[in-house]
Amino acid sequence: KAGVTQTPRYLIKTRGQQVTLSCSPISGHRSVSWYQQTPGQGLQFLFEYFSETQRNKGNFPGRFSGRQFSNSRSEMNVSTLELGDSALYLCASSPAGTGSVRNTEAFFGQGTRLTVV
């Protein structure tokens, strides 16, 4: 079974630009979450999508947005990039909704390392 796939793996952008990151969850997983990881703040939750609906959102400005498609693939977008947006962006998928608490663990991708210059 293929794992969570994030593309691209590395990205360099200029301040003021916008960027779109992609995440393909494990086949059959319906929940996709996004996290930002920086040396100073650690791993922080951005948002979670389930069945194309945003179910939970972290404490990030509106420049950070996302969406989920009918095949559960997800994208996140950051507009008007700032230097502080440089980070590792991680996507996690979860089986969710299968009726068993043993299927609630999250599986993470390798992440997209975004550098804003």
Partner 1 sequence: DAKTTQPTSMDCAEGRAANLPCNHSTISGNEYVYWYRQIHSQGPQYIIHGLKNNETNEMASLIITEDRKSSTLILPHATLRDTAVYYCIVRVAHQNSGGSNYKLTFGKGTLLTVNP
Q: Which residues bind partner 1 (CB under 8 A)?
A: 4, 30-31, 33, 35, 42-45, 48, 50-51, 55-56, 58, 88, 90, 92, 94, 96-101, 103-111
Which CB, 17 or 71, lies closer to partner 1? 71
Residue 31 CA, distance from chain mean position = 11
CA distance linking residue 5 with residue 74, whole number of Å: 11
CA distance linking residue 39 with residue 68, whole number of Å: 28
Question: At its nearest, how many Å lie between partner 1 and the CB of residue 40?
Answer: 11
Question: At its nearest, how many Å lie between partner 1 and the CB of residue 108?
Answer: 3
Question: At its nearest, how many Å lie between partner 1 and the CB of residue 16?
Answer: 28
Which CB, 66 or 109, lies closer to partner 1? 109
Helix (H, G, I), strand (E, B) or coil at 78: strand
Which residue shows structure tokens 């420049």?
63
